């Protein structure tokens, strides 16, 4: 039999369902030649400093730095029962192969490997590596299992990260606690991040606002602005002298500019966008996407890629057509997606960009948690915008003279392109839906509008 070890019970059940394992036992599911079990997060971790030497129970400056010559691991207190189940299964004579089915990433690899080594297992190991929990993706993954040794480097990098956390946390926390005579926690990631936040907050506090005044001359899309004046009277004087006077454009510097569609989401850009639009923390966004991944609604979240693999072109086109019929903000809209913009296998490492799955077609989106629903809309809209045409416009930088006053002016003129016409129709359609269908509970998030600034990201209007 083959022993499959997932990272969480919910994932294990999804795998067992596809594999045909139906018999529930204590801590695992069995059937059809498979035993499917699970970890509950980390079951094994690094030992504390005091477990290397009793003297480290007391925090003293003279004992620093603490650097183990031989690293030790232990089974964590709250997970001993599940570790015992896995250890027994790994040593069961009827099990001839172990399949690592934890999350396909560095941390998932570490969770499994520590259990595998702590249990003293020597049986052949295979690796399931999938980016989606859809049934077909699971079947394809089990049909193309790789030898576990192919991921040895990934395991070593995860182990290195864990040891680095330990060394910094143990030594720096003890050092600063002893020096300042209070319990201070220092972390490899949290402390530099906190320092950046504190530094930024201090700059905001120290920022001094300076009041100034400007005179504007506006006509059509042109906005001509004077230099800054310290006194309101000076700006009022210029405005009064230019009132109802003729203006002469002495210089008009015209440049054609292109704003390209945004890339698909990796985890970091999705977290940043969810924070900007909804105020969600990075952890809240990750938790929501992870939950939807386990519900088979989106692909694997912990990715650093913003592209899809070259062979995903046809499936992506099918996905886009489904989104048009499923997403409330895309109903009735039509455009020809250019999926080649998001395909690049060379820029995909372990996992491709985060996109919805075809399971969304069967899901009742209204039943999702509000946070999950909004983030799903965000991910779906990004697929549509990333495959749209670029927005092209003319930028005008003018020098205007009005009653002997020289004033600088800027304007933008749209270059009518198919992509822009689509964008206009999107905006009009969304407004119509709100007005005619009474979607008052939906929040309109403006993205792809007429006021596109240089280097700004370009989005469709989203309704959530």
Q: Tens of pLDDT along 81-108?
A: 999 999 999 999 999 999 999 998 899 9
Q: Is the pLDDT of residue 149 over 80?
A: yes
Q: Is the pLDDT of residue 461 over 50?
A: no
Q: Which pTM was predicted?
A: 0.73
Whether the CA torsion 288, 272, 382, 277 is positive or negative: it is: positive
179: CB partners within 8 A, 6+ apart:
61
Helix (H) or strand (E) segment spanning residue 437: helix 418-437
Indicate the average pLDDT of the chain: 86
Structure tokens at 205: 């506090």
pLDDT of residue 243: 85
Helix (H) or strand (E) segment spanning residue 177: helix 152-180
Q: Report the alpha-carbon distance of residue 404 to residue 238 in Å, rounded.
A: 10
Span 426-433, average pLDDT: 46
Helix (H) or strand (E) segment spanning residue 94: none
Quick check: helix, strand or coil at residue 73? Answer: strand
Backbone angles phi, psi at 254, to 5 degrees: -105, 130
Kindly indicate the confidence band of residue 242, based on its pLDDT and cuts at 50, 70 and 90.
Answer: confident
pLDDT of residue 21: 96
Q: Is the pLDDT of residue 439 over 70?
A: no
Q: Report the alpha-carbon distance of residue 348 to residue 400 in Å, rounded.
A: 50
277 burial (CB, 10 Å; 0-12 / 13-18 / 19+) is: middle
Task: Determine how β-strand 44-46 pairs with β-strand 73-75.
Answer: antiparallel
pLDDT tens for residues 297-308?
999 999 999 999
**ω before 250 within 30° of 0 (cis)?**
no
pLDDT of residue 430: 42
Quick check: helix, strand or coil at residue 253? Answer: strand
> For the stretch 30-39, what's the b/e string if a residue is b when 16 or more beta carbons lie within 10 angstroms of its beta carbon?
bbeebbbbbb
Structure tokens at 139: 């079947």
Q: Report the alpha-carbon distance of residue 404 to residue 389 in Å, rounded.
A: 44
Kindly indicate the confidence band of residue 120, based on its pLDDT and cuts at 50, 70 and 90.
Answer: very high
Nearest Cα residue to 42 out of 4, 79, 5: 79
Q: Is the pLDDT of residue 448 over 50?
A: no
Kindly indicate the confidence band of residue 259, based on its pLDDT and cuts at 50, 70 and 90.
Answer: confident
CB 424 within 8 A of CB 445: no
Q: Is the pLDDT of residue 442 over 50?
A: no
Length of the chain: 464
Kindly list the catalytic residues: 300
pLDDT of residue 416: 52
Kindly indicate the confidence band of residue 395, based on its pLDDT and cuts at 50, 70 and 90.
Answer: confident
Span 261-275, average pLDDT: 93
Q: Is the pLDDT of residue 453 over 60?
A: no
């Amino acid at each position: 039999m083959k022993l499959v070890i997932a990272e969480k019970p919910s994932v294990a059940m999804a795998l067992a369902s596809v594999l045909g394992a139906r018999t529930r036992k204590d801590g695992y599911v069995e059937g059809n030649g498979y035993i499917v079990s699970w970890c509950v997060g980390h079951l094994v971790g690094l030992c504390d400093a005091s477990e290397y030497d009793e003297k480290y129970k007391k925090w003293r400056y003279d004992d620093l730095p603490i650097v183990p010559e031989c690293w030790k691991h232990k089974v964590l207190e709250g997970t001993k029962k599940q570790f015992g189940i896995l250890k027994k299964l790994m040593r069961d004579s009827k099990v001839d192969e172990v399949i690592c089915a934890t999350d396909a990433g560095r941390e998932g690899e570490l969770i499994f490997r520590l259990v595998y080594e702590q249990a003293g297992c020597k049986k052949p190991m295979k690796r399931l590596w999938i980016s989606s929990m859809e049934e077909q993706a699971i079947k394809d993954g089990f049909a193309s299992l790789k030898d576990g040794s192919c991921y040895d480097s990934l395991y070593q990098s995860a182990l290195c990260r864990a040891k680095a956390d330990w060394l910094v946390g143990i030594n720096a926390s003890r050092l600063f606690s002893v020096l300042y005579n209070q319990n201070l926690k220092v972390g490899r990631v949290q402390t530099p991040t906190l320092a950046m936040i504190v530094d930024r907050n201090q700059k905001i506090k120290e920022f001094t606002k300076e009041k100034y005044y400007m005179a504007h001359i506006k006509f059509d899309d042109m906005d001509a602005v004077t230099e800054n004046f310290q006194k309101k009277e000076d700006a009022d004087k210029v405005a009064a002298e230019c009132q109802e006077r003729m203006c002469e454009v002495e210089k008009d510097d015209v440049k054609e500019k292109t704003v390209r569609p945004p890339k698909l989401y990796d985890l970091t850009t999705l977290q940043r966008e969810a924070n900007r639009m909804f105020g969600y923390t990075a952890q809240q966004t990750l938790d929501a996407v992870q939950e939807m991944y386990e519900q088979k609604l989106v692909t694997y979240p912990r990715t650093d890629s913003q592209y899809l693999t070259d062979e995903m072109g046809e499936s992506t086109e099918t996905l886009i057509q489904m989104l048009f019929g499923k997403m409330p903000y895309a109903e009735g809209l039509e455009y020809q997606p250019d999926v080649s913009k998001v395909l690049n296998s060379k820029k995909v490492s372990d996992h491709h960009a985060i996109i919805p799955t075809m399971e969304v077609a069967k899901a009742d989106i209204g039943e999702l948690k509000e946070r999950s629903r909004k983030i799903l809309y965000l991910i779906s809209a990004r697929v549509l915008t990333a495959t749209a045409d670029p927005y092209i416009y003319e930028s005008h930088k003018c020098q205007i003279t009005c009653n002997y006053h020289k004033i600088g002016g800027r304007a933008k003129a749209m270059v009518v392109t198919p992509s822009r016409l689509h964008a206009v129709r999107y905006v009009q359609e969304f407004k119509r839906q709100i007005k005619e269908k009474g979607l008052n509970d939906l929040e309109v998030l403006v993205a792809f509008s007429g006021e596109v600034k240089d280097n700004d990201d370009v989005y469709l209007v989203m309704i959530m």
